DNA sequence: ACGGAATGTTCACCTTCGCTTAACACGACG
DNA sequence: CGTCGTGTTAAGCGAAGGTGAACATTCCGT
């Protein structure tokens, strides 16, 4: 299902190798790629090319990714351009700064081409299919983006598998409310699919592993809840 | 036991077939049905017809179900109308958004007529017999949240075990009323499960331990009551 | 199309704690 | 003084949930 709609991406990174690598992988998918190695050029290109998506390295000499992002958000006609940050997966929290700056997504370095291409395509698809009304749920230090299917726990960004994500989203839709097992089954699996007793437990366990034990509570005989 | 009380339902879905299917099944049960194929009409009809229940498809072109729901919740006189979402269980997570928007229940597509009618009838029954099992009971300084399964005594928040919670909820449903032991058994254990004489006493004792001796009274030979 | 990884489900335990009961104590009342 | 209804306590049982691993399925890159 290769779309016929414009798919133009602007890559910005000071390392040429990375630029080449990403360019190669995107072009392979028939995506139009422009690139810049610094913030200034990036802005110029963005204005002239009007890409659908800008991939910004956060760490760059001179104007860094966050600044470029801010500038883009301020430029008439580019406010809504999708922006993805490339974040070095180090100790520092620059990706959080990026989040504040209003990026639409984040990709960790070192970049894995497949993951990268997937993400880009997913994001491009979004621009096409009507304005991304980003639905976000937030409670108790956890923030879920229903659209990007991501979860941030304050110090990191997670990609939960589908079922876990659905389960967490359900619990978080009404923090504090106890969801009976049946409710959970009905909502997540549907009324006609039946899975074993222990299935929910296992997903709950995995969630607790990932977001912390204290965030999901058990009420014996009644169900589970997200701690408010 | 076909009720004589008004049972009016508003169906909202952009697909006519579904509308017809649901309408047919509801009318067969003697329920008055109105329908709309878009959010705008739905709101108009809701205002003029004041249905007891609104069934909203989440995914609709133009104003979607969540928006309609929000609007209804904001409309004087309709804030408490029961709302049921029809959720397509697809890739996206709009059904969760719907949950968050404050629907009263959810039905998964594809709809199975029997399940649907049952749910609608159950919900309608609810409106008649006093507002939707009002989610909070309060009396004599004790407040029970039936949704969160918690009890607050003014100075602390408790998590009662299931049976104790149910027992307290029963007593508090009519403060002052004396519940005969048989009534209690019937309500909490059901008519076919039999437990020993001392079982209730023990639960009562634990409750008294936790919420204070003076809150539950004994009427010898008669039963127990929650002190008003 | 193939094969391996990621995700989802089930199974066979284990642990925990709520529920129930048995045994006894106590006061009221005949 | 006996029995009736209830209070109290501790102990056993069992159901509900937790856990780890096996098994099944889906996804995805080659």
Give the Cα separation of B31 and B28 in Å (integer): 7
What pLDDT digit, counting tens, does each position of B147-173 carry? 999 999 988 899 999 999 999 999 999
What span, in angstroms and rounded, lies between the C-alpha atoms of B163 and B188? 8
> Residues 6 or more apart from A182 whose CB is under 8 A from it?
none
Q: pLDDT tens across B2-29, in order?
A: 444 558 999 999 989 999 999 999 999 9
**A17 vs chain B: nearest CA distance in angstroms?**
36
Distance between CA atoms of A169 and A165, rounded to whole angstroms? Answer: 6
Sort A160 into a burial class: Cβ within 10 Å, 0-12 / 13-18 / 19+: buried
- Phi/psi for A58 (5° steps) reads -75, -45
Which are the contacts of B106, defined by CB distance < 8 A and separation ≥ 6?
A186, A187, B84, B85, B86, B87, B95, B98, B99
User: What is the b/e burial string over B136-172, where b = at least 16 CB atoms within 10 angstroms of the residue's CB?
Assistant: ebebbebbbbeebbbbbeeeeebebeebbbbbbbbbb
Residue closest to B72 by CA, chosen among B63, B64, B81, B60: B81
Query: Looking at A14-23, A92-101, A118-127, B175-184, which range is the least confident one?
Result: A92-101
Inspect the interface and report whether the beta carbons of B99 and A187 lie closer than 8 Å.
yes
Cβ-Cβ contacts under 8 Å for A24 (sequence gap 6 or more): none
* Per-residue tokens: B187: 């309500």
Q: Is B192 on the interface with A (CB under 8 A)?
A: no
Chain-wide mean pLDDT for chain A?
Answer: 81
Q: How does pLDDT run across B29-62, given as a tens digit for each residue?
A: 999 999 999 988 999 999 999 999 999 988 777 7
What secondary structure letter does DSSP report for B91?
A: S
Instruction: Give the residue ranges of DSSP H helices in chain B.
Output: 16-28, 39-49, 65-74, 94-101, 113-128, 162-173, 181-184, 198-211
Nucleotide nearest B221, CA–C1', reads D5
- Which helix (H) or strand (E) segment holds residue A210: the answer is helix A198-211
Residue by residue, DSSP assigns A53-100 as EEEEES--SSS-HHHHHHHHHHSTTTTT-EEEEEEE-SSS-HHHHHHH
What is residue B173's predicted lDDT score, i.e. its pLDDT? Answer: 93
Close Cβ partners of A91 (under 8 Å, ≥ 6 residues apart): none
Q: How far is CA B16 from CA B36, B87, B161, in A?
A: 9, 16, 47
Q: How far is CA A190 from CA A168, A194, B106, in A?
A: 16, 8, 10
Nucleotide nearest to A114 (CA to C1'): D29
Instruction: Give the model's pLDDT for residue B20.
Output: 93
pLDDT at A125: 61
* pLDDT tens-digit series, residues A59-114: 777 777 778 888 887 777 777 678 888 776 554 555 455 455 566 677 776 777 77
Angstrom distance (rounded) from CA B199 to CA B185: 10
Q: Does B93 touch chain A (CB under 8 A)?
A: yes
CA of B71 to C1' of D8 (A): 56
Nearest beta carbon to residue A146 from set B97, B106, B108: B97
pLDDT tens for residues A129-178?
444 445 788 899 898 988 778 898 877 888 899 999 999 999 998 899 99
CA A100/CA A79 separation, integer angstroms: 15
Nearest Cα to A81, choosing from A143, A20, A34?
A: A34
- How far is C-alpha B23 from the geometric centre of its chain's CA atoms? 23
């Amino acid at each position: 299902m290769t779309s016929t709609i414009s798919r133009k991406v602007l890559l910005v990174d000071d390392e040429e190798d990375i630029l080449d690598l990403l360019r190669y992988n995107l072009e392979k998918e028939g995506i139009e790629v422009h690139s810049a190695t610094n913030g200034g050029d990036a802005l110029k290109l963005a204005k002239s090319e009007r890409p659908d998506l800008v991939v910004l390295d956060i760490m760059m000499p001179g104007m860094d990714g966050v600044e470029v992002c801010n500038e883009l958000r301020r430029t008439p006609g580019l406010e809504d351009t999708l922006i993805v940050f490339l974040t070095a997966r180090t100790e520092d929290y620059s990706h959080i700064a990026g989040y504040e700056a209003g990026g639409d997504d984040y990709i960790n370095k070192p970049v894995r081409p497949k993951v990268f291409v997937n993400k880009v395509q997913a994001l491009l698809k979004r621009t096409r299919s009507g304005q991304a009304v980003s639905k976000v749920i937030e409670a108790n230090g956890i923030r879920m983006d229903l659209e990007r299917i991501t979860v941030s726990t304050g110090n990191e960004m997670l990609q939960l598998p589908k079922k876990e994500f659905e389960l967490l989203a359900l619990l978080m839709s009404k923090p504090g409310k106890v969801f009976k097992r049946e409710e959970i089954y009905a909502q997540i699996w549907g009324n006609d699919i039946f899975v074993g007793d222990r299935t929910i437990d296992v997903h709950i366990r995995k969630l607790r592993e990932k977001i912390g034990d204290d965030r999901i509570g058990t009420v014996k005989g009644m169900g589970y809840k997200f701690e408010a």
